[in-house]
């Protein structure tokens, strides 16, 4: 059942299907942990801790969840293993509510843009292979479908495939792509994209950036230069720095988040490729540990399978039997 009634039936079904392998893996392990047990004791909690860690929730977040469950078990004196699902669901939902807020905005089921910032400038960062350019294309399609005027900037100029791929997405969606080709200055691309967006009255401009895992110093300098050049035209750009992470890589996504948050001020996360993996718990851990809102999740190949993240719907799908 949809908890807030914000999701369409189709989107909820897609989310349920996308998290199926994570959920099945989690519950099969949980079932084995409580077999023959009637109450939640220390042994059961040890097993739950191992299950959360193996689901890529992460050690720090797992310890936090277990501590909260322990407090409830101690307070209630007797907690049956049948109640464990409900308690875990409530504690994980509470954790996401604390760490995934954007001001006082409720969870959304739409691709909205903040009022008063036009064009809204999104700089997208992330390593090669995480689905960064595809995420940009899908975002453009979602905004365009809702009547927004979109401009794309092909700023990953170190990889010909990235430039070509973004141009293909632009043609597919029907939005302009600013490209200077390969081995050109990405900051010049960003400047021209913001300039074009301003001239045509675009609502949003999305800038791709290089996805190389080079040193943090070089990465920081490159991203700082892109920001500085855009700010010559739009003083408060970028309005959003979106880090794209591949959820199927589990703990490696934590490492990437650590590197990029050191290199630049990341303000939002997109976690892709959650379908077909049992590592969906990574969403919970990354949201908690980095205190950065998870804004989008990818749960399939189709354009509409990039969804705005609704923490309560996510938990509902995670625990759905």
DSSP H/E element including 26: helix 20-34
With beta carbons less than 8 A apart as the criterion, state whether 7 and 305 touch. no
Report residue 137's pLDDT band, with 50, 70 and 90 as the boundaries: very high
pTM value?
A: 0.91
Angstrom distance (rounded) from CA 314 to CA 107: 11
What value does the CA radius of gyration of the chain take, rounded to a whole number of Å? 21
Q: Which residues make beta-bridge pairs with 177?
A: 152
pLDDT tens for 62-121 read 999 999 999 998 888 778 888 888 899 999 988 887 765 554 344 455 788 988 899 999
2 pLDDT tier (thresholds 50, 70, 90): very low
| pLDDT beyond 70 at 174 | yes
Using CA of residue 304, residue 140, residue 262, residue 129, what is the dihedral sign?
Answer: positive
Between the CA of residue 12 and those of 4, 300, 313, what are the distances in Å? 11, 13, 8
More confident residue, 162 or 321: 162
Q: What is the CATH number of domain 9-99?
A: 1.20.120.140
Q: Is the peptide bond before 219 cis (omega within 30 degrees of 0)?
A: no
Q: How far, in Å, CA of 103 to CA of 98, rounded? A: 11
| 215-234 mean pLDDT | 87
Percent of the chain with pLDDT over 70: 93
Distance (Å) of CA 133 to CA 62, 139, 146, 280: 32, 10, 20, 21
120-310: which CATH topology? Rossmann fold (3.40.50)
Q: What is the average pLDDT across 244-259?
A: 91
Which of the residue ranges 67-81, 173-187, 212-226, 301-315 has the most confident prediction, judged by mean pLDDT? 173-187
The model's pLDDT over 143-172, given as tens digits with 9 standing for 90+, comes to 999 999 999 999 999 888 899 999 999 999
Cα atoms in the Cβ-side hemisphere of radius 13 Å centred on 60? 11
Distance of alpha carbon 115 from alpha carbon 118, whole angstroms: 8
Which range among 44-48, 208-212, 270-274 shows the weakest confidence by mean pLDDT?
208-212
Q: What is the pLDDT of residue 100?
A: 59
What is the widest separation between alpha-carbon atoms in the chain?
68
Query: Cα(299)–Cα(306) distance, rounded to whole angstroms?
Result: 6
What is the structure's pLDDT at 213? 62
Cα 134 to Cα 129: distance, rounded to the nearest angstrom: 10
Compute how many other C-beta atoms are within 10 angstroms of the C-beta atom of residue 236. 9
HEC string for 193-210? HHHHHHHCCCCEEEEECC
Average pLDDT over residues 19-25: 90
Select from 87, 101, 68, 59 the least CA-distant residue to 281. 59
Tell me the domain boundaries of the chain: 9-99, 120-310
Please give the Cα distance from 36 to 47 (Å, whole number): 13
């Amino acid at each position: 059942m949809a908890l807030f009634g914000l999701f369409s039936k189709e989107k909820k079904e897609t989310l349920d299907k996308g998290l199926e392998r994570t959920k099945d893996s989690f519950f099969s392990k949980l079932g084995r942990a409580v077999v023959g047990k009637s109450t939640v004791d220390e042994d059961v909690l040890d097993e739950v801790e191992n299950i959360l860690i193996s689901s890529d929730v992460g050690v720090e977040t797992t310890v936090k969840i277990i501590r909260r469950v322990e407090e409830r078990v101690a307070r209630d004196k007797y907690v049956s293993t049948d109640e464990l699902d409900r308690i875990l669901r409530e504690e994980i939902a509470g954790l996401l509510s604390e760490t995934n807020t954007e001001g006082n905005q409720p969870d959304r089921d739409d691709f909205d843009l903040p009022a008063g910032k036009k064009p809204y400038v999104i700089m997208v960062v992330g390593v090669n292979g995480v689905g960064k350019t595809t995420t940009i294309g899908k975002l453009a399609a979602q905004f365009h479908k809702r009547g927004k005027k979109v401009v794309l900037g092909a700023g990953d100029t170190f990889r010909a495939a990235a430039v070509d791929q973004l141009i293909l997405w632009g043609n597919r969606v029907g939005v302009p792509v600013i490209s200077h080709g390969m081995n050109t200055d990405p900051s010049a691309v960003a400047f021209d994209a913001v300039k074009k967006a301003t001239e045509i009255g675009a609502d949003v401009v999305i800038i791709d950036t290089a996805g190389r895992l080079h040193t943090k110093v070089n990465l920081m300098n490159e991203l700082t230069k892109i920001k500085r050049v855009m700010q010559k035209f739009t003083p408060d750009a970028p309005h959003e720095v979106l880090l794209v992470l591949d959820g199927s890589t589990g703990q490696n996504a934590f490492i990437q988040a650590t590197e990029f948050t050191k290199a630049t001020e990341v303000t939002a996360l997109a976690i892709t490729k959650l379908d077909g993996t049992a590592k969906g718990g990574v969403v919970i851990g990354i949201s908690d540990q980095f205190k950065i809102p998870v804004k989008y999740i990818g749960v399939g190949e189709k354009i509409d399978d990039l969804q705005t993240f609704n923490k309560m719907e996510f938990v509902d799908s995670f625990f759905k039997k």
